[in-house]
Amino acid sequence: MIGKKIIETEAIPSARVKEILDDFSQDNELNYEQNLTLNHLARFKKFSAEDSEEIMEKLQEEHPNLRTRAIVHIVDLVPQDLADLRLIFAKEPYQPDKGEMEQILEILEQYDIVE
């Protein structure tokens, strides 16, 4: 990456990354890393891009202490129970209590997973 500089970074859900790569591949040939990323994203269950954005907005509104990065992990990993959710928050500075984590799981249950 000689001569390249990162201008800004932003955490986005994997459904959005897949959408971006699909759009890019319509007009361009994907390089090796982009192909690997697209194949990886196609294998795992996730929410649609629209649902991902909606879930992220709900989580940010209802839980303002959560960092965007943690919210993206929640949307991408689709935790099924409190144990899965605790793993996501293991290294986060903010640790939600059990009630907050149950609310997060309830929000996720309202949406259908795309296979």
What φ, ψ does residue 6 adopt, rounded to 5°? -80, 120
Give the tens place of pLDDT for each residue, 34-45.
999 999 998 887
Q: Judge whether 64 lies within some domain.
A: yes
Give the pLDDT confidence of 40-87 residue by residue, as tens digits: 998 887 899 899 999 999 999 999 999 999 999 999 999 999 999 999
Is the model's pLDDT at 1 over the cut of 60? no
Closest CA to 75 of 89, 91, 59: 59
Closest CA relative to residue 75, chosen from 9, 18, 13: 13
Contact between residue 48 and residue 15 where contact means Cβ atoms under 8 Å apart: yes
pTM for the model: 0.86
Asked if 56 and 75 touch (Cβ cutoff 8 Å), the reply is yes
Which amino acid, residue 5? K
Question: What's the structural domain count of the chain?
Answer: 2
In a domain, 5, yes or no: no
- Are 63 and 30 in a shared domain? no
Contact 104, 65 (CB under 8 A): no
Q: Which domain holds residue 104?
A: 49-109
Q: Tell me the per-residue pLDDT of 91-111, one tens digit each, with 9 for 90 and over.
A: 999 999 999 999 999 999 999
Q: Are residues 38 and 68 in the same domain?
A: no
